[in-house]
Structure 1
Amino acid sequence: MTRPRRNRSESGRPEVGQRIELRRLQFGLSRRVVANLVGRSEEWLRLVESGRLRLDSVEVITRLADVLRIDDFRDLIDRPVRGGRSAAWNAGDLFDDLRSEMLDHPAIGVTRAAANGIGERPVSMPGTADALAGCERIWRQSRHRYSELAQRLPRLLAAARQTYWRSAGAEGADPLLRAYHLTREVLSGIGAHDLAWLAADRAMVVASYSDDPPVLAASAWQLSDALLRLDRPGAGRDYALAAVARLAPGRSDVDVLRGALQLLAATAAAAIPDPAEAERLLDAATGTSVRLGAVHCVRGIGFGPTEIGLARMEIALARNDVDAVLGAAAETEPADDCPVGRRARYHTMAAAAFAGRNDDMGAAFELAKAADAAEEDLRYDLDAHRTLRQLLQHDNGLLRRDLTRLAALVGQDGRPGD
């Protein structure tokens, strides 16, 4: 069984028509009512919501904004996207400080000059090691990990970069690597894939000076994952497999990363798509997992049966095979100590599969479980937006209260994924 594909903008953000429909459904308004209020036909609104007709009148756009209680009418204007720039770049976003730090350099100090009205000034953070460990713990365990790290991570990254730069690389390599890896994962999570790749690439430069195989392998995994999320699956696969080829056997931590790289290469191969290679690489990763046993984590990268199951769910969901998603889910459910983001993603994928079966109760239940695991993750997960949109369209009275709560989590202002 398959689910219909849903269009979205090049940036990954729901298109204007989808945003109008989601907002209309949140208020329980029929298409006819909204169309009458803006002086257009019901068929016109249907074409707008489906993306087959663009809004081309400022007067109509402002009327729609008033009817749908959208504070800024510019949210109903499609903007061209250049160079794959993510919707996460919107001004005023929670992560502006992190973006600014990524675009700055300790030798220039643009961010500090703007903030302090002066040139170079050292950035210091007492207890950087403890602060870094705390941020990593938040990323693994907090239901509000994005908003918490938005406050902590920019200054932590600045401190790590300053230490490494001022010592000409003699000090602080490991904290900087960990800070870059965490930054990469956060930026990928919010959809800022260009900056996420930049963070991964900078980490790879630092890692290239290390003679410790897990350091290089973990950085290669981060860069491969960034390429995959940047919609470069071929490059992501090639990079992961090249890293695997460099790994010598005999160390368990290296084998964990070998398996993680094999699994990432499998996911990338499926996205190309190359189903035969994807299955071969999945088998290789499964073999590595069997040899290792249980679940392992090296330098923040998890590998084991749960990750293999999640990868199978991702691959099946990408090809709209909802039966395969639910089949893999039945054999996978993450343990309570699994990182919150992975648990949330598991339930979000299951929700999308139930929605593909038109099982509204199952989809709503899984979305609620995802919110329980990591509620902020729903705001940045496009599958969560699409599933919620479908549930709102069905307007099941038994689910209305739960769906209202979930709609608030993903952005009740009508701008999901900002």
Structure 2
Amino acid sequence: MDELPIGRRVAYWRNRRKMSQQVFADRLGKSKSWVDKVERGVRRLDKFSVVYEIADVLQVDVQLLLGKEPERKPESVNCVDAVEVAEIRAALERYDAFSAFFSPAGEPPPVPEMHKAVNHAWLTFQHARYGVLARSLPKLLRDAQAADTAYAATDQATDVAKLLGQVYQISSSVLRKLGELELAWLAADRSIAVAQRAGDPLLAGTATYRVGSALLALGRARPALEINVNVANRLAPGTGDSSPEQLSVYGMLLLQGAMAAARIGDSATMRDLLDGAADAGAAVGEDQNHYWSCFGPTNVLLHRAAASVEIGEGGLAVNVHEQSIPASSFTTLMPERRAHHFLDMARGFAQVGDVDRAGEMLLEGDRLAAAEIRCRPIAHEVLSDVLRRTKGTPSAPIAELAEHMGVGV
């Protein structure tokens, strides 16, 4: 595609976004005839500003329109390919605040629209629609960064900084799910700096949680444990009343710390942190979604099972899954959280040698939120293990899932 004229690249991305020439023209404020001439090479695109507007409408990085497209992996249901990852990386590498020293920033997006976009992105993540989210993240990152720069000297600066911090956190979360771990760490680190500037201790707490998650995924369990516990101690409830928001963020940090402790084999610390999170969950009363945490008593139980798997005690995880988690509360959790639990339990059942139940857990997760199973590297590893240990021919549903995921039977 590098050799194609820019007009053909525009046509390629317009078709990939399933956008007609008329719709594309309307969004650009141009005529359909203008678009047609550009795509056929009759009209040249010699203004960088116009190329940038086209890139924004098509939700691709401008470098892709200029012929610098990376190799793409085959499409997968609701997953992302290298092109989408490259676009997110390019958006994270922008430095709008620095550029504003040399030229005035463009018209920023309205703050109410940014609020809606960020809320929608969180819900998209919690419904495990990772492909949809990945395609919208580059523009959301550019808009949030531009707004943060443009509103820096206004009374909306703090509000916009909070929005940018959340966009970085969303980016970190989805990139970690998809195995882009260094980018996940970069986005999480950015979110901490912005949260400090926004002056919101709880947002800083959730940013710390994302950093801890990225570090844990990168195999750096000990620093993940330390950062989660240190910040949790700073947010610990006092002797007076604590808000559900504070308890939720505090509990999230303890849960992430417990996972890190399990990774390094420190079962005593793991259980202490889980017990502390259980106390916070009991104080919250029921599972809530404050600061997009999904925190509460049920989520604590899910982490108790996950930590048991992480430390190699699959039997304990199975007991929690089968005897302790109330079905009525479990079904109220967001799809991502439930499908994640099924993936954890697939690992747990595999640890105790029940590969049939492990396969059932993968299928349950796939039915609930396909991307959580089909797009995550860890799920591919678990499915490969199930197939390897299955005696005889795997069941038709497992074979079909393996085919969808590209895992050899």
Same fold, judged at TM 0.5 (above): yes
Amino-acid identity (%): 26
Give the CA deviation at 1:323: 0.7
Q: Provide the rounded CA distance (Å) in 2 between the counterparts of 1:125 and 1:366.
A: 43
Q: Provide the rounded CA distance (Å) in 2 between the counterparts of 1:383 and 1:219.
A: 23
Q: Does 1:251 align with 2:242?
A: yes
- The residue identity in structure 2 corresponding to 1:377 is E
- The residue identity in structure 1 corresponding to 2:247 is D
Alignment match, 2:47: none
Give the CA deviation at 1:123: 7.8
Alignment match, 2:224: 236
- The residue identity in structure 2 corresponding to 1:402 is P
Q: What's the RMSD between the two structures over aligned residues? A: 2.8
> Per the alignment, in what secondary structure is the counterpart of residue 251 of structure 1?
coil
Q: Does 1:140 align with 2:126?
A: yes
Give the CA deviation at 1:307: 1.9
User: Between Structure 1 and Structure 2, how many residues are aligned?
Assistant: 315
Q: Does 1:162 align with 2:146?
A: yes
Q: Does 1:205 align with 2:189?
A: no
Deviations 1:146-165 (A, max 9, x none): 11012111101110001102
Q: Does 1:128 align with 2:120?
A: no
Higher mean displacement: 338-347 or 212-221: 212-221
Q: 1:309 to 1:153 in 2, by over 3 A?
A: same
Higher mean displacement: 189-198 or 215-224: 215-224
> Per the alignment, in what secondary structure is the counterpart of residue 104 of structure 1?
coil
Alignment match, 2:96: 106
Q: Are the equivalent residues in 1 in contact too, given 2:254–2:274 (CA < 8 A)?
A: yes
> Per the alignment, in what secondary structure is the counterpart of residue 347 of structure 1?
helix
Deviations 1:239-287 (A, max 9, x none): 1222122225333211221122122222212222322111111211112
Give the CA deviation at 1:316: 1.7
Q: 1:136 to 1:231 in 2, by over 3 A?
A: same
Give the CA deviation at 1:409: 3.2
Q: 1:392 to 1:120 in 2, by over 3 A?
A: farther
Q: Provide the rounded CA distance (Å) in 2 between the counterparts of 1:360 and 1:376.
A: 22
Give the CA deviation at 1:304: 1.5
Q: Provide the rounded CA distance (Å) in 1 between the counterparts of 2:193 and 2:105.
A: 25
Alignment match, 2:180: 192
Q: 1:240 to 1:162 in 2, by over 3 A?
A: same
Higher mean displacement: 343-352 or 355-364: 355-364
Q: Provide the rounded CA distance (Å) in 2 between the counterparts of 1:98 and 1:136.
A: 16
Q: Does 1:96 align with 2:86?
A: yes
Q: Are the equivalent residues in 1 in contact too, given 2:355–2:386 (CA < 8 A)?
A: yes
> Per the alignment, in what secondary structure is the counterpart of residue 372 of structure 1?
helix
Which of the residues 264, 274, 282 maps onto 1:282?
274
Give the CA deviation at 1:122: 4.2
Which of the residues 289, 300, 306 maps onto 2:292?
300
Q: Does 1:349 align with 2:348?
A: no
Q: Provide the rounded CA distance (Å) in 2 between the counterparts of 1:181 and 1:128.
A: 15
Q: Provide the rounded CA distance (Å) in 2 between the counterparts of 1:185 and 1:194.
A: 12
Give the CA deviation at 1:375: 0.7
Give the CA deviation at 1:394: 4.7
Alignment match, 2:9: none
- The residue identity in structure 2 corresponding to 1:310 is L
Q: 1:169 to 1:337 in 2, by over 3 A?
A: farther
Deviations 1:183-212 (A, max 9, x none): 110111111121111111111111112343
Q: Provide the rounded CA distance (Å) in 2 between the counterparts of 1:238 and 1:361.
A: 37
Q: 1:410 to 1:123 in 2, by over 3 A?
A: farther
Deviations 1:342-366 (A, max 9, x none): 1111111222232334434322221
> Per the alignment, in what secondary structure is the counterpart of residue 369 of structure 2?
helix
TM-score normalised to structure 2 length: 0.70
Q: Are the equivalent residues in 1 in contact too, given 2:267–2:311 (CA < 8 A)?
A: no
> Per the alignment, in what secondary structure is the counterpart of residue 95 of structure 1?
helix
* Larger relative contact order (Cα-Cα within 8 Å, sequence gap ≥ 6): 1
Give the CA deviation at 1:396: 5.6
Unaligned runs of 5+ in 2: 1-72, 74-79
> Per the alignment, in what secondary structure is the counterpart of residue 296 of structure 1?
coil
Which of the residues 327, 331, 336 maps onto 1:336?
331
Q: Does 1:152 align with 2:136?
A: yes
Which of the residues 395, 399, 407 maps onto 1:404?
399
Alignment match, 1:79: none
TM-score normalised to structure 1 length: 0.68
- The residue identity in structure 2 corresponding to 1:141 is H
> Per the alignment, in what secondary structure is the counterpart of residue 220 of structure 1?
helix
Q: Are the equivalent residues in 2 in contact too, given 1:344–1:373 (CA < 8 A)?
A: yes
Unaligned runs of 5+ in 1: 1-74, 76-89, 110-118
Q: 1:191 to 1:245 in 2, by over 3 A?
A: same
Give the CA deviation at 1:395: 5.4
